[in-house]
Structure 1
Amino acid sequence: MLYKKNIIFNQQIKETYTHLKELELNTICVEGNCPNIGECFSKGKMTFLILGDTCTRNCLYCNVNKSKRGKELNFGEIENIKKIISLHRLNSVVITSVTRDDLIDGGSHYYALLCKELKEFNNKVSIEILTPDFGYDEKSINTIITSHADILSHNIELTQSLYKKYRPVGNYTKSLDILKQYAQSGKKSKSAFIIGFGETDDDIKQTIYDIASTNIHYLSIGQYLAPSKNHLKPLKYYSHEYFQTLSEWVKENFNFEKIDVSFYSRSSYLDA
């Protein structure tokens, strides 16, 4: 993969891989072939991938397995996530999932159960959940809002002009509505998107304006990198200078509590 960071294996990385394999836990770091995996794993950071490793959507830029039906839910992974929290002495966890359009609630109740059990296990652990859209079902979204999560995140993923081509089942406007609800929940809220698909500078800035209008707290923007040679190649690689200029523009024009705008930025990069 072009621009992939070199991984220098240290003891922490080896232990992380070993524990994830032994406990049969998925991470988006591995399944998504994230360019930051070495850096995050070396610091004991990881983003758990729940609801199986198979997604029912077919976004062209994503490395995760795809099928019309996902795998049977494995409730044992909740106990295994608790184990890895103890093994790595984690004080925060980030949890995301594949999209499960084949489940009635999209997996929202599983998210809520996991958050509840993790808080009962250790109420000092901060929990961030990066959720799919749940088919924009209000009951499912409310289940997430009322869960024990501390940070609610939903990624816009792309600029609006690209949805029809690259994210056809998603709905840009409805995803903004999810962000508005997350922002009004009384909890911290977060979103992210990637660039490099042929969007214009105006597209990028309009997306930032749209996200800012939801009043979420945290924003991340990064460069799309093809997760494998078989995936869609970036139509443009933005320079590090471009990201620096964009970051300064965001700081000057908006009031996000925290932004992470750089070439390798991802929504949960080093817990972002």
Structure 2
Amino acid sequence: MNDMSAAPRPEPRRKPDWIRVKAPVSKGYHETRALMRELNLNTVCEEAACPNIGECWTKKHATVMILGDTCTRACAFCNVKTGMPGAVDPLEPEHVAAAAARLGLEHIVVTSVDRDDLPDGGAGQFVRVIEALRRETPATTIEILTPDFRGKMRAAVEAICAARPDVYNHNLETVPRLYPTIRPGARYYASLRLLEEVKAHDPLIFTKSGVMLGLGEARLEVHQVMDDMRSADVDFLTMGQYLQPTPKHAKVEEFVPPKTFEAYGAVARAKGFLQVASSPLTRSSYHAGEDFAQMRSAREARLNKLKGKS
């Protein structure tokens, strides 16, 4: 009699050539890593096992992850560890600003773990980091990538918008049908409302969101997510290939070809997004500051438009 319980597990899908990257070995990579350790800073580049870490750190670009390295949620796609986080580091804002100054950053991306254990969800630390950056490196443009602040969203968004980041990013991650399995601790329409709230508080703050492809989504579902984002007046869109960080995470259903990403990008631009990044290796903060001249022009045009309405 065959023992069905001993059946081998299916092999994971083999990565195609277009998703492969070289291991990081450059001097710039090691210098960036050493600085992050010296200042006791976490980065999403490391914690989320980003495939672009070698390229970005060689250029001394890094996405700083505040509020610790432990998340209060356990999303099926994310490699950040889950558990009970430690206390918030009061020196963290100054350390982030020091890193931005020493790296000479023109643009910085600041994200965080989910901190459902904190009364404000961690919004106050985002505010303190923005304020420290404005003091230390006033020419640096600031992009934040926040969680959804479940149950605390309105107060959190109001406080952060008052600190005036240049870009407010919050990722929808996937299509609504897949939320129960991929993002069970979040709600699709709550995330959309957060992006709408940012614009309601300050129309001059650019909003940004992103989705992962390859989780089993259908083409028309992706188009609907784009429409939902534009209805919320989202300005910038990122689309990239989901990669399974460990065997316990959600599996890759498809490696989406580069031509499909190009087609999605063309659709997104036709729908009116000001900036679109769509490729297998695109991540939320990949090349985030490279088109900021274009963003400043768009901001000026928006300001003039608003003045004309007043």
TM over 0.5: yes
**Structure 1 position 193 matched with structure 2 position 211:** yes
Q: 1:72 to 1:4 in 2, by over 3 A?
A: farther
- The residue number in structure 2 matching 1:156 is 172
- The residue number in structure 1 matching 2:297 is none
Question: Which 10-residue stretch deviates more, 94-103 or 13-22?
Answer: 13-22
Helix, strand or coil: the match of 1:152? strand
- The residue number in structure 2 matching 1:175 is 191
Question: Which 10-residue stretch deviates more, 79-88 or 44-53?
Answer: 79-88
Pairing 1:97-108 to 2, within 5 Å after superposition = 97-108=112-123
Question: Which 10-residue stretch deviates more, 3-12 or 237-246?
Answer: 3-12
**Structure 1 position 248 matched with structure 2 position 236:** no
Rounded to whole Å, the distance in 1 between the matches of 2:253 and 2:120 is 36
Q: Equivalent of 1:87, from 102, 110, 124?
A: 102
Question: Which 10-residue stretch deviates more, 226-235 or 194-203?
Answer: 226-235
Measured after TM superposition, the shift of residue 110 of structure 1 is 1.0
Letter in structure 2 aligned against 1:164: P
Letter in structure 2 aligned against 1:149: P
Question: Which 10-residue stretch deviates more, 189-198 or 95-104?
Answer: 189-198
Question: Which 10-residue stretch deviates more, 159-168 or 97-106?
Answer: 159-168
Rounded to whole Å, the distance in 1 between the matches of 2:193 and 2:241 is 25
Q: Is the 8 A contact 1:223 1:264 kept in 2?
A: yes
Letter in structure 1 aligned against 2:94: E
Measured after TM superposition, the shift of residue 79 of structure 1 is 2.0
Rounded to whole Å, the distance in 2 between the matches of 1:102 and 1:8 is 35
Measured after TM superposition, the shift of residue 87 of structure 1 is 1.7
Measured after TM superposition, the shift of residue 34 of structure 1 is 0.5
- The residue number in structure 2 matching 1:54 is 70
Q: Is the 8 A contact 1:34 1:227 kept in 2?
A: no
Q: Is the 8 A contact 2:97 2:129 kept in 1?
A: no
What are the superposed Cα offsets for residues 159-181 of structure 1, whole Å, 9 maximum, x if unpaired?
11101111112111111011112
**Deviating runs (4+, > 3 A) in structure 1?**
1-4
Helix, strand or coil: the match of 1:259? strand
- The residue number in structure 1 matching 2:285 is 268
TM-score by length of 1: 0.95
Helix, strand or coil: the match of 1:142? helix
Rounded to whole Å, the distance in 2 between the matches of 1:76 and 1:106 is 18
**Structure 1 position 128 matched with structure 2 position 143:** yes
- The residue number in structure 2 matching 1:113 is 128
- The residue number in structure 2 matching 1:257 is 274
TM-score by length of 2: 0.84
Measured after TM superposition, the shift of residue 146 of structure 1 is 1.3
Measured after TM superposition, the shift of residue 19 of structure 1 is 0.9
Q: Is the 8 A contact 1:182 1:216 kept in 2?
A: no
Rounded to whole Å, the distance in 2 between the matches of 1:19 and 1:47 is 13
- The residue number in structure 2 matching 1:235 is 253
- The residue number in structure 1 matching 2:30 is 14
Measured after TM superposition, the shift of residue 90 of structure 1 is 1.1
What are the superposed Cα offsets for residues 139-195 of structure 1, whole Å, 9 maximum, x if unpaired?
112112212311111111111110111111211111101111223422111111101
Q: 1:99 to 1:26 in 2, by over 3 A?
A: same
Letter in structure 2 aligned against 1:99: D
Q: Is the 8 A contact 2:26 2:54 kept in 1?
A: no
- The residue number in structure 2 matching 1:26 is 42
Helix, strand or coil: the match of 2:287? helix
| Alignment gaps of 5+ in structure 2 | 1-13, 290-310
| Alignment gaps of 5+ in structure 1 | none
Q: Is the 8 A contact 1:108 1:140 kept in 2?
A: yes
Letter in structure 2 aligned against 1:53: D
Q: Is the 8 A contact 2:96 2:129 kept in 1?
A: no
**Structure 1 position 65 matched with structure 2 position 81:** yes
Q: Is the 8 A contact 2:239 2:282 kept in 1?
A: yes
Letter in structure 2 aligned against 1:70: P
